[in-house]
Amino acid sequence: MMMESKNNIRECRGNEADIAIEIRDVTKTYGKHRGISHLSFVVPKGDIFGFLGPNGAGKSTTIRCMLGMLHFQKGEIRILGMDAKKQTREILRKVGYMPSEAMFYPSMKVKDVIRLAVEARKMNCDSEARRICDLLDVDREKRISELSLGNRKKVSIVCAMQHQPELLILDEPTSGLDPLMQEVFFKLVLEQNARGTTCFLSSHVLSEVKRYCKNVAIIKEGELVKLDSVENLLRSGIRQVKVWQGGQERQFTYSGNARELIRELDTMQVDDVLIEEPSLEELFIHYYQEEA
């Protein structure tokens, strides 16, 4: 038996100057197909914000709406105080984006891709670009077509961070990176965050979210199902319950009153019971699953 309670969607409001991303009642559909529906949340400046959801939940749709690649039908998105529909170019000057699939022009060399990203911003980022390339061991003379996924991801990191953006949007940033490079990558993220950069991290790797993110939003089927700090989420009152009954083991997630749980267990006449705090993975699966 599993008891679930639907979490209320909480909006965090504050001064516009303190907000990096404000998504207000945004709906995006693809014809008859659902994209995202009445999505609302706020990311404070200086935060490292996790954005989680199962495949097809609408994470990439949300990110692409933020960056002007997709047109949403309803709602408002403000990035660093600017309207995402009307001020796309100004927003992109201040944002560093790392897509999940790092694709570049195959015939170009790495240094030319990096230079194109710099020239687009009319900035001189040579020293910072070289520093990041050295840290990530990027061969600037190679052609993009000669690079593996992991090495293309590294180029993507350089392009996203070299101009020291105010907002970093990272879509599954560590997929394809070896563990050493993952460490280096997060060192760079923390460095940027220490300078005041807000980091918006969409990831399936929950250990990263748990380790680095302060706040997290969970999206499912285009809707926000949970918005809270990682700390509160882990102390959410949700419990993993294992019961043994007639030699059979059963497991379920319970969120509710402890007295109700004890009463339920009593009626079940269990032989043994184990009640634990769930890991972030188990919490995640709990929010992902269909309600009973």
Partner 1 sequence: MTLWKHEMKMNIKSLLIWSCCIGIVNFGCLLLFENLADTMEQMAKSYSQMGSFSTVLGLDRLSIATMEGFYATELGLIFAIGGAMFAAMTGASMLAKEEEGHTSEFLHTLPFGRRYIIRWKYLAMASAIILFQIIAILWETLGFAIAGEMPEVQEYLLFHGAQFFMQLEVGSVCLLVSAGSRKKQIGTALGLAVLLYVADMMCRIVPDIEKLKYATPYYFSNAADIFTSGKVDCGMLGISVVITVAAFMCAFGVYMRKDLTA
Q: Could you list the residues that contact partner 1 (CB under 8 A)?
A: 30, 60, 64, 67-71, 88-90, 92-93, 95, 97, 99, 101, 103-107, 113, 116-117, 119-121, 159
Question: Which of 111, 242 has the CB closer to partner 1?
Answer: 111
Question: Which of 70, 265 has the CB closer to partner 1?
Answer: 70
Query: In whole angstroms, how close is the CB of 66 to partner 1 at the nearest point?
Result: 10
Query: In whole angstroms, how close is the CB of 210 to partner 1 at the nearest point?
Result: 28
Query: In whole angstroms, how close is the CB of 31 to partner 1 at the nearest point?
Result: 11
- The Cβ of residue 94 has, within 10 Å, a number of other Cβ atoms equal to 17
Question: Which of 60, 203 has the CB closer to partner 1?
Answer: 60
- The Cβ of residue 1 has, within 10 Å, a number of other Cβ atoms equal to 13
Angle between helices 126-136 and 149-161 (to 10 degrees): 150
Question: What DSSP designation does 109 have?
Answer: B
Query: In whole angstroms, how close is the CB of 177 to partner 1 at the nearest point?
Result: 18
Strand extents, DSSP E, the chain: 19-30, 33-44, 48-52, 74-79, 82-83, 95-98, 167-171, 198-202, 215-220, 223-229, 238-245, 248-255, 272-276
Question: If DSSP codes are grouped into helix, strand and coil, which group holds residue 209?
Answer: helix
Query: In whole angstroms, how close is the CB of 98 to partner 1 at the nearest point?
Result: 9
- The Cβ of residue 9 has, within 10 Å, a number of other Cβ atoms equal to 15
Rounded Cα distance between 71 and 186, Å, is 31
Rounded Cα distance between 128 and 126, Å, is 6
Question: Which of 102, 283 has the CB closer to partner 1?
Answer: 102
Question: Which of 43, 118 has the CB closer to partner 1?
Answer: 118
